[in-house]
Amino acid sequence: MLISLADIEAAQLHLRGVAVHTPLVPMEDYDGEGRLWIKAECLQPIGSFKLRGAYNKIAQLSPEDRQRGVITYSSGNHAQGVAYAARALGLKAVIVMPSNTPKVKLQATRALGGEIVMVGLASLERKQKAEELAREFGYVVVPPYDDPAIIAGQGTCGLEILADLADVDLVLAPVGGGGLLSGVAAAIKLSHPGVKVFGVEPELAGDAAESYRTGNLVTFTGEQTSRTLADGLRTQSIGELNFAHILAYVDGIVTVTEAEIRNAMRRMIFSTRLLTEPSGAVAAAGALYHSAKLPPSRKAVAVMSGGNVEPETLRRVLSEQED
């Protein structure tokens, strides 16, 4: 069942005083037609949009469920969102993370009080481990994307875009598991149906684009998705509920190369003075390098999903010449 606009508006109330209403920052060196703004989710307390869905989900748990504690599985940003929300609401949080999690995300999750369990590279492996521990210890599972409360929480990002730029005509969001894209698309289309919404994905982890093209959920292997530098988008498949929202509300999905992601990172940092992680640059990369695959636009917004970048990755990207 698809979420409603009322669900997203209720999530806004839960998030009041918790999540930041992040600004739209102009991309001054955008050379396409019209203008491009960056929705700066790097400015959330945990450095990414994931706080929205995690807090909305956990805030609605019953007192009995809160006593049980929560568990999730994440490559980093959702881990921090769950740990932050659990600490704020006084719950225990257990986080299952892959062995290739960037250290900056691992350390931040631990600093927020998350109890970490490490597994292999595959997103399905960490999901299975979390479900196993939930059965054993009674924890409440807080999924990273395939959940109506998570989708509604992420959808508040879309409502903010409309509040700040009422005549926006194109919104781009990155897609991994689909939580952000499905929530933003629902918020936009249920409020302003004429606005175009596109997902953007690394081509090395292009399961969402393939799923959208065929109309059937496609699963990539962990080895395939781990090839992309965009560690926040290494999910092997879109969630089922997310896919239903994407089919209902999204106008298309484009893929970007690794070189385009790195180039977009540099351009965003120098143009907006915002620090982006690779995943956070993916939507902007779609606007910067694939305008021919997108509808004509006068006012476009690319959601920058987060800024939790490894120092070594940042150094390497900034030292490169544009490909």
The tens digit of pLDDT for each residue in 133-167 reads 999 999 999 999 999 999 999 999 999 999 999 99
Indicate the residue type of 98: P
H helices present in the chain, as ranges: 5-15, 50-59, 63-68, 77-89, 103-111, 123-137, 148-164, 179-191, 207-214, 222-225, 240-249, 258-272, 282-289, 311-319
Which tokens sit at 166? 């009422």
pLDDT above 80 for 321: no
Provide the percentage of residues in the chain whose pLDDT is more than 70: 100
Instruction: Tell the residue number behind the tokens 């070594």, with chain if given.
Output: 312
Tell me what pLDDT residue 318 has: 94
Distance CA 56, CA 154 (A): 9
Contact 105, 83 (CB under 8 A): no
SS3 101: coil
DSSP 143-162: -SSSSHHHHHHHHHHHHHHH
Q: What are phi and psi of 200, to 5 degrees?
A: -130, 135
Tell me what pLDDT residue 99 has: 87
Class of domain 51-141: alpha beta
What's the chain's average pLDDT?
95
Class of domain 5-48+147-319: alpha beta
Give percent helix, percent strand, percent coil of the chain, each to the nearest 5: 50, 15, 35
Tell me what pLDDT residue 323 has: 61
Q: Do domains 5-48+147-319 and 51-141 have the same CATH topology?
A: yes
Instruction: Work out the angle at residue 272's Cα, subtended by the Cα atoms of residues 270 and 275, and round it to the nearest 5 degrees.
Output: 75
Structural domain boundaries in the chain: 5-48+147-319, 51-141
Distance CA 192, CA 301 (A): 14
Provide the percentage of residues in the chain whose pLDDT is more than 90: 88
Lowest mean pLDDT among 12-16, 28-32, 278-282: 28-32
Helix axes 240-249, 179-191, angle to 10 degrees: 30
Question: What is the C-alpha radius of gyration for the chain, rounded to an integer number of angstroms?
Answer: 18
The per-residue b/e assignment along 171-191, b for 16 or more CB within 10 angstroms, e otherwise, is bbbbbbbbbbbbbbbbbbbbb
Distance of CA 231 to the CA centre of its chain: 11
Which positions are annotated as active-site residues?
A: 50, 305
- 163-190 tens-digit pLDDT: 999 999 999 999 999 999 999 999 999 9
pLDDT above 90 for 124: no
Between 222 and 37, the more confident residue is 37
